[in-house]
Each structure stands twice: as structure tokens, then as C-alpha cells.
Amino acid sequence: MISESRLPLSPPIRILLLESGTGPGGSVNFIRDFLLHVDHRTAQFMVGLYLPNASKSLEEIRNLGHAVVFFKHTRPVARKTSTGKSGLFGIRPRKLHKLGTAATILSRLIRIQLPLTWRVWRFIKREAIDVVVLNQDVHFHVPGVLAAKLAGRPCICRKAGGIGESRRIKRFLNPCVDLFVSISRATETDQRNTPGTKKVVNIYEGLDLERFRSLPAKEAMRESLGILEGKKIVAAITRVEIGKGLPEFIHMAAEVIRRYSDVVFLLVGDEGPDGGGTLTRELRDLVNSLDLEEHLIFTGWRDDIPAIMNCLDIFVHCPTTFTEGLARTCLETMAVGIPAVVSDNGGMPDAVADGVTGYVVPQGDIQAMAESVLRLLEEDSRCREFGRRARLRVEQLFDAAHNSPELQEQILTCARPAKVSELRGAHVRVS
């Protein structure tokens, strides 16, 4: 029997971090901040993306010395299908809809996911990857899960969202995942209640707090946005999507303006870096119908979010049907020392301590949103104190300098049994 003390010194564990997103956003920013605070003596990270991603954070990741690879260089073209109301060949519409859904899933599997599985599997084998880490909920990573399984590598899923979604496919995928790392109590509870789950640990998302220590002067940003001196600023910062609570944010602004006029509202974000679409136009029409043109500014997509956050007085994020795992943008505003008004949605209550760092209101309750914002606008001392406590809460719970090593250790612990077994086999062959 060979003792472990006779095994060769172990090289760094080789880790493939898989990202499913195709654009800038919090998930890629998480990877960037995480990699700033890992121990490279024990782990070597490579970042893989199924499809192209235009995020500037990827360039920062490359500049840190990490390999970044795209497994497909073009985005798939969506295929449109149409069926008549009377059905096809006598099949009832409801049954036809189910058949159409099944056909769409099968088509996507054959055209996109299986080829991606093959490419990821080849990469795992070629680069001698020891463990695969999925950076979103498991149903976004069918190719990654299948490739890890085929290659016989441990698979870890950082559950950053997906609450209540795709439960049928998760029944199939969950048993292939060795460890789920939830980023909030809401994501932890959801995963524990999903069949097939082996193990769950909770590690809060972390920010690189150094990014928020030296920001441009507030006055310069206010001037660039055309905001007059003396006006307070309330902002929603988010990708423009259905369920993010943006119509409610606009209606809330109209309520606040009736009682407090020295305020400007910002809607920071768009439907993508390339500009707005139908939903953005609908939001602009809503602003016009409420006569809010002079009080609400659409900034569009911005790459200087921390600088914008630094000139705010209050942050508002009250999603309705879009369930948040934690909401990274909320953490970022807290890191700048800004109080927040959020809805009781997913992991949002983990971020904001109600009545301490901000307010948590019921989903879709415009009046509660308005009252919470007014309370902060009308009481400067409360607003400043909540902001101070928000920064302290981020330092205590959401600092990447503390949370990243904890996540890395979970990854290494999951990978080590397979690695030790491999080294043991290599030693036997050499002997």
C-alpha cells in the first residue's frame, strides 16, 4: 500500500469556471472580483464561456493572467415557428403547443447544447481540468454538466439565481452536481427543496471593495448628467427586463414628486449595450404620460456604474416577477454608502437590513416604495446613517477578500479526492 506521504508534490488544482452569459453583467463581474482574491499557489483558474461576451470585465480577467476561452464564436439565430389556431393535421392546439415546445427543446439540444458539450469535454481533457465550476444555476449549464460528467470530473454549481425555475430539467441535472454553493438564504432554500440535490453550502457573493474607495467627485458626475445643484438623486440601476419593477419605479417617482419636488430620478441601464428595444420605448411613453420628463433621466447603458452610484442619495430596486438571487448592484451601492429601498424578492432581504440600512417593501407596492423613499429624502440624518450602516454591512458580509478564499476552499475540497486518486495512480505507474 502506498502512503500519501510518498505521493509526488501536488501541482495546483486546474479549475474551469464556466460562464453562461452573453453580455456584460454581474455574473462576469463576480468572476473578476473572485479571481482577485484567490490563492494561485493552490489553484489555476481558466474561464470558459459558451458564447461570445462583450464584457470589459473579461479583459480585466485576461490582464490578471487567466485564460479566457469561447466555445462558440457566433450566437445562435432564433428559429421562429408558427401554427394555425385550428391545429395541424387534426392535432388539438394545446397538444400541438406541447409538441412544439418539445420540438424546440430537442432542436436546441441537437443544434447547440450537444456540440457545446463536445467542445467543453475536449477542453477538459486537453487542459487536464480537475474540477468544473458553473457560475449560474444548473439549468443554464447543460453542456457544462454533461461535459464534466462524461469526463469524470467533479462539478460545482454556484447557485446565483434561478429560484423556482426549470425544476423538471433540474431533476435530471442536479444528481450530476457534487456541490451547490448558494449566494443567499433564498437560493439555499430553493436548492435544498429541489430533488436530486446532494450538498449545499451558503457563501455570500463578494465584492472587491477597493473599487469603491477612489471614485470621481460627485459634482463632476452630476454635472455630466445635467442635474442641478441642490437636487437629490434616486436611481434604479438594472438591465431593462420585464419583471424588474421598472414601471412601478416610474409610478413611484410620480408619487414622490407630488410631495417632494427637489429630486431627480435616474433609470440607469438598457435592454443591452447596443441600445433599447420595445420595453425601453414603453417606459419612455409611460414617463411622458405621467409628465415626468423633467424629473426622470434615462442614462442608457453605462460602463461607469460605480461613479454614478457615488453621486446618488438613494438606490431603489424593487423587482416583481423577476426573482433575484441577491442583486449584486444593490451590494455595490451599499459599498458606496448609499441606503436602498428594495422589494421582498428572493435574496434581497439578505442584502438590505430593513430599517437599518434601508427598507424592504412588498413586491409591487408602489405606495410603500414611495413612502420609504420620502422618509429618506425628508430626513437627511437617517439617510446618512443608513448609508454608513450599509457600507459596514458590506464589509462584514460581502467582502470578496473574505468570501473568495472560502469559496476556493470548497472548490479544492471537492476536487482533492479525485486529484489524490489520480496522483496515487500516477505514482503506481511510475514505480
Domain ranges of the chain: 4-206+400-430, 209-397
Predicted confidence at residue 94, as pLDDT, reads 55
β pairing state of 232-237 and 200-202: unpaired
Q: Which three cell numbers stand for residue 32?
A: 473578476
Predicted confidence at residue 100, as pLDDT, reads 57
Predicted confidence at residue 215, as pLDDT, reads 85
Confidence of residue 87 (pLDDT cuts 50, 70, 90): very low
Q: H helices within 270-341, ranges in order?
A: 278-289, 305-309, 328-335
CB–CB of 68/45 below 8 Å?
Answer: no
* Residue 335 amino acid letter: A
β pairing state of 179-182 and 155-159: parallel
Topology of domain 209-397, CATH:
Rossmann fold (3.40.50)
Q: Measured on CA atoms in the order 302, 268, 309, 22, is the torsion positive or negative?
A: negative
Instruction: Give the list of residues 6+ apart from residue 57 with CB closer than 8 angstroms, or none.
Output: 24, 28, 29, 31, 32
Question: Rounded to the nearest 5 degrees, what angle is found at the Cα of 74, between the Cα atoms of 68 and 80?
Answer: 140
Predicted confidence at residue 23, as pLDDT, reads 72
The residue whose grid cell reads 453542456 is 143
More confident residue, 378 or 93: 378
Predicted confidence at residue 6, as pLDDT, reads 45
Instruction: Give the list of residues 6+ apart from residue 304 with CB closer than 8 angstroms, or none.
Output: none
Task: Read off the pLDDT of each residue in 335-354 and give the average, rounded to a whole number.
Answer: 96
Does 4-206+400-430 match 209-397 in CATH topology? yes
Q: Is the pLDDT of residue 4 over 90?
A: no
Look up the CATH number of domain 4-206+400-430: 3.40.50.2000
3-class DSSP assignment, residue 96: helix
Confidence of residue 5 (pLDDT cuts 50, 70, 90): very low
Report which of 233, 249, 246, 259 is spatially closest to residue 374, judged by C-alpha positions. 259
CB–CB of 175/198 below 8 Å?
Answer: yes
Report which of 48, 65, 58, 70 is spatially closest to residue 153, judged by C-alpha positions. 48
CB–CB of 322/239 below 8 Å?
Answer: no
Q: Could you report the per-residue pLDDT of 160-189, keeping only the tens digit for each?
A: 999 999 999 999 999 999 999 999 999 999
Predicted confidence at residue 220, as pLDDT, reads 87
Predicted confidence at residue 387, as pLDDT, reads 97
Report which of 239, 299, 305 is spatially closest to residue 265, judged by C-alpha positions. 299
Beta-carbon count within 10 A of 317 CB: 25
How far is Cα 262 from Cα 23, in angstroms, rounded to an integer?
A: 36
Task: Read off the pLDDT of each residue in 300-320 and give the average, rounded to a whole number.
Answer: 93
Q: H helices within 215-270, ranges in order?
A: 218-224, 246-259
Predicted confidence at residue 204, as pLDDT, reads 96
| Continuous segment of H or E residues that includes residue 234 | strand 232-237
Report which of 301, 299, 308, 291 is spatially closest to residue 251, judged by C-alpha positions. 291
Task: Read off the pLDDT of each residue in 81-99 and give the average, rounded to a whole number.
Answer: 45
How far is Cα 371 from Cα 343, in angstroms, rounded to an integer?
A: 13
How is residue 51 annotated by DSSP?
Answer: S
